[in-house]
Amino acid sequence: MDAVIETAWTVSAIRTALEASALVREGELTLRIIEGAEPVLLATMHDYGDLPIYLSVGGAQIVCSVLLWPVAEQDDRPAFNEFLLKAQRVVPLSNFAITSVNGEDVYELMGELSCNTSLQTILIELRTLAENAIDATGLRETFGAPASDTAAA
């Protein structure tokens, strides 16, 4: 069972802890904080084709997300969206969403954690989300969108 920590995480604390952790494999990821209204941690997952995962901390939760592809590129969007709502078990521990990036709707894959979880669980979430994002590209092709080598940036 994973231990719950007493102190809630911040983006900066997560970065520092991951960079110092023996749990992270050498060359597995690169971390960078993107400053804004709220800081975001960009984890570039090298074991997954340099997949970018964004991690933010707010309230009582940590949110990790991957931008997938523009909604406009998805053929038969109603069927695809219905499939996503019915088949959440296709990508365990992750949720699909639609978010706006520079005025364009983009499919997003997300996972949420408590701010009082262990560093090991945060790393497991990053790895699981990366695997699920790769698996999600197969769904894209199943519903008629063109194959893509990379997720949207």
Q: How confident is the model at residue 89 (pLDDT cuts 50, 70, 90)?
A: low
Q: Residue 107's CB: how many other CB atoms inside 10 A?
A: 26
Contact present, 125 and 110 (Cβ < 8 Å): no
What residue spans define the domains of the chain? 11-142
Domain 11-142 -> CATH class: alpha beta
Condensed to tens digits (0 to 9), the pLDDT of residues 90-109 reads 666 788 899 999 999 999 99
Query: Residues 19-35: pLDDT tens digits?
Result: 999 999 999 999 999 99
- What pLDDT digit, counting tens, does each position of 126-139 carry? 999 999 998 888 77
Residue 149 has pLDDT above 50, yes or no: no
Who contacts 22 (Cβ-Cβ below 8 Å, separation ≥6)? Answer: none
